[in-house]
Structure 1
Amino acid sequence: MPSPLSADLRERVVAAVMAGASCHRAAARFGVSVSSASRWSERFRHEGQLASKPMGGDHTSKRMPG
């Protein structure tokens, strides 16, 4: 599984988008995918979060904890 990209890179991409750059332009400028730039910007707008989401764990099971 690939590791998350740095918080600094995420911050620079989101700052560029918030300053008026398109996700396509910001992605090209910083060498990330357009979908990443879009997801990071959207998450920042809705949740105020730049950190990556937790990776791994059980995502398919519907078991109740405990």
Structure 2
Amino acid sequence: MGKPCSLDLRERVVAAVETGGLSRKQAAARFGVAPSSAIKWVARFRATGSAAPAKMGGHKPRTLRDEHADWLIARCQAKDFTISQLVEELRLARGLKVDRRSVWEFLHAQGLSFKKKPVRQGAGPT
């Protein structure tokens, strides 16, 4: 995602529409911005009283932490598993909706292997 346009430019476009009598498309052409931007800036100004951009990005906290992490570690150490099985168990048993990638990253960070142990050949009775 790109950097937001300056507040000064946004305010000039909004002022041209609100007090200058221009349409949003005319103001966009006058200031060299996309018509969709002018439309959004004016709508934002009318809704909030400011043309300032909204906060971008931010940190989304991890879903698999605390008691969910403890449960998942215990579950992985108890028996063989696949990532898809863990996602389904988290949804059913814990009411937690997570992506397969999130579970994989958690397991990788914990050093847990999700590969099943192969069945040994010739280990049966003779």
- TM-score category (smaller protein): 0.7 to 0.9
The structure whose RCO (Cα within 8 Å, separation 6+) is larger is: 1
Q: In the alignment, does 2:44 pair up with 1:39?
A: no
Question: Which residue is equivalent to 1:25?
Answer: 26
Query: In the alignment, residue 30 of structure 2 is paired with which amino acid?
Result: R
**In the TM superposition, what is the alpha-carbon distance from 1:55 to its structure 2 partner?**
1.1
Which structure has the bigger radius of gyration? Answer: 2
For residues 2-26 of structure 1, the C-alpha deviation after alignment (integer angstroms, 9 at most, x for no partner) is 1010000000000001021001100
**In the TM superposition, what is the alpha-carbon distance from 1:58 to its structure 2 partner?**
6.5
Query: In the alignment, residue 48 of structure 2 is paired with which amino acid?
Result: E
- Normalising by structure 1, we get a TM-score of 0.81
Structure 1 runs, 4 residues or longer, greater than 3 Å off = none
Distance in 1 (alpha carbons) for counterparts of 2:17 and 2:33: 13
Q: How many residues of Structure 1 are paired with residues of Structure 2 in the alignment?
A: 60
Give the share of equivalent positions with the same residue, in percent: 57
Distance in 1 (alpha carbons) for counterparts of 2:17 and 2:36: 13
Q: In the alignment, does 2:9 pair up with 1:14?
A: no
**In the TM superposition, what is the alpha-carbon distance from 1:57 to its structure 2 partner?**
3.4
- Normalising by structure 2, we get a TM-score of 0.44
